[in-house]
């Protein structure tokens, strides 16, 4: 078990917990008023061969409710601006899950980036300001890649329903390169693919694929 914390902000790593063997947590905070977990609701790992690596280099960035349970999970979070939020994050069950998040602007938010099942990948980049993301994956062999370079872009994506582990073998790739774009993508059952690219301003797309 490895737990390293390099913190120059006073609101550092409060109540961080790591249970079982072969878990690793690396934390670096180099600004002011950055927060990772709380004493009542800590950053937590349960299981084996899990990794959480968090870097926050601005001010008032927050990682809240990060959970990993099971085996062979990865989570990497980098927030390099100010007032960025990454909350309600969890990886639960199964093997070979990954979650890589980067936010390099100000006031970006990623809420509910959940992964349930096996062999999932979630890779999100947000490089502007005031961007918002909502993600969910359930099932096996899912892939979700999101890139946002602009301001006030929003994505809402889900693979699988909230009541079942649907959408095995699904793929979503989303790129929004302008401002004030909205994408709402929902996929539910087997072997589905959605690729969305919005490069202007004020674009909106709603998609749904369901076999059930």
Best CA proximity match to 95, nearest among 49, 45, 160, 35 = 49
Q: Where are the domains of the chain?
A: 1-86, 108-212
Residue 20 is predicted with a pLDDT of 63
Residue 85 CB neighbours (<10 A): 19
Question: Got the DSSP string for 173-206?
Answer: EEEE-SBS-EEEEEE-SSS-EEEEEE-SBS-EEE
Averaged pLDDT for residues 199-203: 94
Q: What is the pLDDT of residue 163?
A: 62
pTM metric for this prediction = 0.82
Residue 191 has pLDDT above 70, yes or no: yes
At residue 74, the pLDDT reads: 87
């Amino acid at each position: 078990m490895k737990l390293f914390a390099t913190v120059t902000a006073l609101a550092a790593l409060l109540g961080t917990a790591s249970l079982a063997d072969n878990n690793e947590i690396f934390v670096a905070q180099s600004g002011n008023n950055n927060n990772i977990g709380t004493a009542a609701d800590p950053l937590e790992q349960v299981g084996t061969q899990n990794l959480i690596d968090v870097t926050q280099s601005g001010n008032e960035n927050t990682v809240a409710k990060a959970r990993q349970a099971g085996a062979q999970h990865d989570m990497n979070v980098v927030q390099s601006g100010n007032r960025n939020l990454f909350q309600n994050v969890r990886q639960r069950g199964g093997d070979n899950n990954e979650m890589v998040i980067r936010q390099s602007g100000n006031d970006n938010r990623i809420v509910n980036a959940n992964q349930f099942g096996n062999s999932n990948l979630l890779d999100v980049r947000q490089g502007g300001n005031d961007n918002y993301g909502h993600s969910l994956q359930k099932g096996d062999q899912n892939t979700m890649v999101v890139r946002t370079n602009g301001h006030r872009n929003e994505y809402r994506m889900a693979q699988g329903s909230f009541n079942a582990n649907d959408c095995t073998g699904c793929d979503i790739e989303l790129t929004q390169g302008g401002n004030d774009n909205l994408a709402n993508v929902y996929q539910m059952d087997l072997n589905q693919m959605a690729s969305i690219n919005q490069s202007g301003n004020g674009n909106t797309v709603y998609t749904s694929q369901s076999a059930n």
